[in-house]
């Protein structure tokens, strides 16, 4: 069997999508020695993140060229048994498609996006989901949401395949990590860490308000707030909220950071907070747990399913609840140690090897369908152009 993967996200700082496809390809290479894999990449340095046994082909970084022409042409040349994509398939794809849809926030909460981006996702993802042979998603929450918003899908078409923290995320020396972040990031005080692109659904403004209230209510706490995540169109409003908080001198923004630096930040922080309004999975919470850090996170969307009692949860719309959750962990060392142990145990339930194995099972199911069914799927791709 030959399986093709749209890996254009690798090397382009596309955060969650990049982590997903990079981790999946590495796990494919380690898990399956019989199948061939072709990865379509766009970034100059993408190949350094991909195992050597996986073939790579270059496609355009321009999404209009990639989806309108280039990717479909490469697929016709390579003739794989299927193509795996995230969210959006190329027009006129000549082979069956398996699509990973991590969440449908663009449909359930379009206010989290620019108008053009929300419209683009609504149109292209619907087209892809309708013609795909299978839809993969990371949680039961997301599966239910996908079936709800695309009401005419057969239930067995949408398959839950949980994600995992990469093996690089693990406990390391707290003292060494603290020294590294002090030198590399100029963090001189103990700190609370939040990770995520600076965008509306990540709720950094709510976190900043909670942090300001925390500092006023508990002056004995000396922690700073560190925000790591790519700057987006919404970043100006978050920076403005920090400046107006009254505690701007204790809030630090680091923008996009590499996994290597994230490992140090996770291990050096006093606790990890994830105040997101909406997550299809919530990988940063699992990464922090895998590094042995206590986690406080929202009680919405997929997060309760992922953390499963191994984190302190709060209503992300309630600043008071967020303050209480953070304060409880910072002020109660025994509780914090207990949550660190529970988090490590929870993170151990997930692995990319399991994710790759289940994904490959779906690939084989699709690729081994009778040829008449494959022809029907291929025709559907043309009909939905």
Residue 278: pLDDT band by 50, 70, 90 thresholds?
A: very high
**pLDDT mean over 255-282:** 96
Q: Average pLDDT in the 239-250 region?
A: 98
φ/ψ of 198, rounded to 5, equals -80, 95
Q: Cα–Cα–Cα angle for 146, 147, 148, nearest 5°?
A: 90
* Residues forming a β-bridge with 304: none
Residue 212 predicted with pLDDT over 80: yes
Least confident piece of the model among 4-13, 212-221, 296-305, 317-326: 4-13
pLDDT in the model for residue 371: 55
**CA-to-CA distance for 165 and 284, rounded, in angstroms?**
8
Quick: pLDDT tens for 122-136: 999 999 999 999 999
pLDDT of residue 271: 97
Tally of CA atoms within 13 A in the half-sphere of 156 that contains its CB: 3
Distance CA 6, CA 328 (A): 44
CA distances from 111 to 12, 202, 244, 277, 278 (A): 25, 13, 24, 12, 12
* Distance, CA of 3 to CA of 109 (rounded, Å): 33
Question: Does 379 have pLDDT greater than 90?
Answer: no
Please give the Cα distance from 155 to 8 (Å, whole number).
29
Which token pair is 349?
Answer: 């339930």
132 with 98: CB under 8 angstroms? Answer: yes
Phi-psi region of 84 (alpha: psi -120 to 50; beta: other; left: phi over 0): beta
* 60/384 Cα distance (integer angstroms): 23
**To the nearest whole number, what is the mean pLDDT of the chain?**
94
Task: Round to whole Å and give the CA distance between 97 and 157.
Answer: 12
Give the whole-angstrom CA distance, residue 177 versus residue 105.
Answer: 35
Predicted pLDDT at 370: 78
β 271-274/251-255 pair status: unpaired
Q: Where are the domains of the chain?
A: 2-164+352-383, 174-347
Q: How far apart are the C-alpha atoms of 156 and 143, rounded to whole Å? A: 10
User: For residue 316, what is the DSSP state?
Assistant: T
- Please tell me what DSSP assigns to residue 52: T
Tokens of 184: 């590399």
Q: Is residue 38 scored above 60 in pLDDT? A: yes
Span 136-165, average pLDDT? 97
pLDDT in tens, 155-199: 999 999 999 999 999 999 999 999 999 999 999 899 999 999 999
Query: Are 2-164+352-383 and 174-347 the same fold in CATH?
Result: yes
Tell me the average pLDDT across 149-158. Answer: 96
Phi and psi based region of residue 246 (left: phi greater than 0; alpha: psi -120 to 50; beta: remaining) = left
User: How far is it, in rounded angstroms, from Cα 226 to Cα 260?
Assistant: 17
Per-residue pLDDT, 373: 45
Q: How far is 39 from 226, CA to CA, in rounded Å?
A: 35
Alpha carbons 354 and 138: distance in angstroms, whole number: 12
Q: What CATH homologous superfamily does 174-347 map to?
A: Glycogen Phosphorylase B; (3.40.50.2000)
The structure tokens listed for 245 are 């908080």
Tell me, what's the pLDDT at 168? Answer: 92
The stretch 20-35 carries a mean pLDDT of: 95
* Band of pLDDT at residue 13, cut at 50, 70 and 90: confident
CATH number corresponding to 2-164+352-383: 3.40.50.2000
């Amino acid at each position: 069997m030959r399986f093709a993967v749209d890996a254009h996200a690798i090397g382009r700082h596309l955060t969650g999508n990049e982590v997903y496809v990079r981790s999946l390809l590495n796990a494919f290479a380690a898990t399956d020695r019989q199948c061939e894999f072709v990865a379509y990449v766009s970034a100059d340095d993408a190949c350094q993140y991909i195992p050597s046994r996986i073939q790579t082909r270059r496609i355009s970084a321009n999404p209009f060229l990639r989806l309108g022409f280039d990717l479909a042409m490469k697929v016709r040349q390579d003739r794989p048994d299927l193509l795996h994509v995230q969210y959006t398939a190329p027009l006129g794809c000549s082979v069956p498609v398996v699509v990973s849809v991590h969440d449908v926030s663009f449909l359930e909460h379009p206010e989290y996006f620019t108008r053009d981006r929300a419209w683009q996702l609504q149109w292209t993802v619907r087209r892809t989901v309708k013609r795909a042979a299978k839809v993969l998603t990371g949680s039961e929450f997301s599966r239910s949401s996908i079936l709800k918003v695309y009401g005419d899908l057969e239930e067995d078409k949408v398959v839950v395949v949980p994600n995992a923290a990469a093996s690089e995320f693990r406990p390391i020396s707290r003292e060494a990590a603290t020294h590294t972040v002090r030198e590399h990031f100029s963090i001189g005080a103990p700190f609370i860490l939040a990770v995520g692109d600076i965008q509306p659904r990540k709720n950094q403004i709510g976190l900043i308000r909670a942090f300001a209230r925390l500092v006023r209510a508990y002056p004995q706490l000396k922690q700073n707030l560190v925000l790591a995540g790519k700057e987006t169109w919404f970043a100006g409003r978050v920076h403005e909220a920090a400046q107006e908080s009254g505690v701007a001198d204790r809030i630090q923004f680091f923008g996009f950071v590499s996994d290597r630096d994230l490992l140090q930040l996770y291990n050096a922080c006093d606790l990890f907070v994830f105040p997101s309004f909406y997550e299809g999975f919530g990988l940063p919470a699992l990464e922090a747990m895998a590094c042995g850090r206590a986690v406080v996170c929202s009680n919405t969307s997929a997060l309760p399913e992922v953390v499963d009692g191994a984190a302190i949860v709060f209503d992300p719309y309630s600043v008071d609840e967020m303050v209480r959750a953070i304060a409880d962990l910072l002020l109660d060392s025994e509780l914090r140690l207990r949550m660190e142990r529970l988090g490590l145990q929870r993170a151990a339930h997930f692995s990319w090897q399991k994710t790759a194995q289940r994904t490959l099972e779906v690939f084989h199911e699709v690729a081994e369908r009778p040829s008449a069914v494959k022809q029907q799927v291929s025709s559907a791709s043309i009909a939905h152009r």
